[in-house]
Amino acid sequence: MAVITPRLTVERRLLREYTLVIACDEVGRGALAGPVAVGAVAVDASNARRRVPEGLRDSKLVAEHHRPAVAARAAAWVSASAIGWSSAAEIDEVGIIRALGLAALRAIADLRAFGVVPEDAVVILDGNHDYITPAGGAGLRVQPIIKADRDCASAAAASVLAKVERDDLMVRLHEEQPEYQWARNKGYASAEHRAAIRAHGLSSHHRASWAIADAPTLF
């Protein structure tokens, strides 16, 4: 099956109406442990005239050993980038959808440090559901796009950047609690992860409100 290369068609169309495009994508939504991360990147007209970085794809389509280099090229290509986080404890407290919205708003807020003014932007959000506005983003123009991380270069950049940052965090957490093998499974429901939960119980990084015992094996 041919791999679809993300393009800038949507971004260029939106930039005829808005000063800036901010693209957001999440990583870690379905994990059993660890935070959820939302990447946010800002793209302006000058970025949209440049060539899409080599190898840029939805993070799920980029081999793990290639992701850091692709992420570095993506970060150099966009005007600014940031990662927003919501911890396992916060996910337990407010639910995953609200947590995604809060993480996205934190990432967008961090873009202000780079001179990005979200009020002048339109936000491309990967997926079919706007989880940003209900979390407190009422002043933002949010446009959910199904498969944006596959088709839109800006969303693919957000996806890769968030994936690399979250994977790095899970590797560090593995060093603290190696019994869960987070360096390999990144907190997702692998067979070895579920076996470790049965043997050792839940850690403080697990999403305790989830029906973890019934979670499907993803690896």
User: Partners of 144 in the beta sheet?
Assistant: 125
Which pair of tokens denotes residue 154? 């800006």
pLDDT tens-digit series, residues 137-187: 999 999 999 999 999 999 999 999 999 999 999 999 999 999 999 999 999
Q: How confident is the model at residue 215 (pLDDT cuts 50, 70, 90)?
A: low
CATH of the domain at 109: 3.30.420.10
Please report whether residue 56 resides in a domain.
yes
Assess whether pLDDT exceeds 60 at residue 217.
no
Q: How many residues does the chain have?
A: 219
Q: Which domain holds residue 87?
A: 9-168
Indicate the helix (H) or strand (E) that contains 25: strand 20-27
Report the pLDDT value the prediction gives residue 219, as an integer from 0 to 100: 42
Residue 76: Cβ-neighbour burial (10 angstroms; 0-12, 13-18, 19+): exposed
Q: Which residue has the tokens 């209900």?
A: 134
pLDDT tens-digit series, residues 21-44: 999 999 999 999 999 999 999 999
- Give how far the C-alpha of residue 108 lies from the chain's centroid of Cα atoms, to the nearest Å: 12
* Vertex 42: Cα angle to 47 and 14 (nearest 5): 70
Please report whether residue 188 resides in a domain.
no
Domain count, the chain: 1
Please report whether residue 179 resides in a domain.
no
pTM, two decimals, is 0.94
Please report whether residue 22 resides in a domain.
yes
Q: Which residue has the tokens 């049965």?
A: 198
Assess whether pLDDT exceeds 60 at residue 1.
no
Report the pLDDT value the prediction gives residue 218, as an integer from 0 to 100: 47
Please report whether residue 211 resides in a domain.
no
Please report whether residue 129 resides in a domain.
yes
Q: How far is CA 46 from CA 20, 21, 31, 156, 160, in A?
A: 10, 12, 36, 18, 21
Please report whether residue 196 resides in a domain.
no
Please report whether residue 29 resides in a domain.
yes
pLDDT tens-digit series, residues 181-206: 999 999 999 999 999 999 999 999 99
Which pair of tokens denotes residue 169? 């965090």
Q: Can you spell out the DSSP letters for 106-167?
A: HHHHHHGGGT--GGGEEEEEESS---SGGGT-TTSEEEEETTHHHHBHHHHHHHHHHHHHHH
